[in-house]
Amino acid sequence: MTLYEKLKQARSEEDVKDAYIKALGLKGYSKNLIDIQTKEIWFEAKDGGKNSTYAMFTQLMHYVQEALNKGDYIPPFLCVIDAMRSGVGVSALEFDLNRLLDFIPTYRKTMEFRYWLHTADSVFVYELTRIYPQNSEILIAL
């Protein structure tokens, strides 16, 4: 069964996490407040497309700030994953540019994608200021 098929069957956030852990062959991971945590990457996982990508990433950034405040290690990669949004691209167990090149001609931008594309920066700042209102004037300057 492919990752996409497993994600379509996911009924909970735990199902989404488990599908990605297996598909990526993650070893030495933990599932805590940060949904999937390894030395190399942290994942924030959701199911059902109920949360914006920005809200998910903002939540992950909150955990990064907590780790920084404690002096904890931060991995070089941060990722948000959602079962409903998983059909937007391609997945593979190893890097294969040909899979992406084969996918591109079949992908059609939807109105939702166009809206997302044109509002990405303002929505990201909005989500950050919602979580960290005390720093909103700094974030708005970005």
Q: Which tens digits make up the pLDDT trace of 90-139?
A: 555 566 667 667 766 776 667 776 776 677 667 767 766 776 666 545 44
CA dihedral 141, 59, 52, 96 (to 10 degrees): 100
One-letter identity of residue 96: D
- In 69-137, where do the E strands start and end? 77-82
Q: Which residues are registered as beta bridge partners of 71?
A: none
Asked if 75 contacts 41 with a C-beta cutoff of 8 angstroms, the reply is yes
Structure tokens at 65: 């700030």
Asked if 139 contacts 124 with a C-beta cutoff of 8 angstroms, the reply is no
**Average pLDDT of span 1-16:** 82
CA–CA dist 32, 4 (Å, integer): 24
Question: pLDDT > 70: what percent of the chain?
Answer: 65
pTM over 0.75: no
Nearest to 25, CA basis, from 97, 94, 99, 76? 94
Distances (CA, A) of 76 to 20, 38, 87, 114: 18, 10, 25, 29
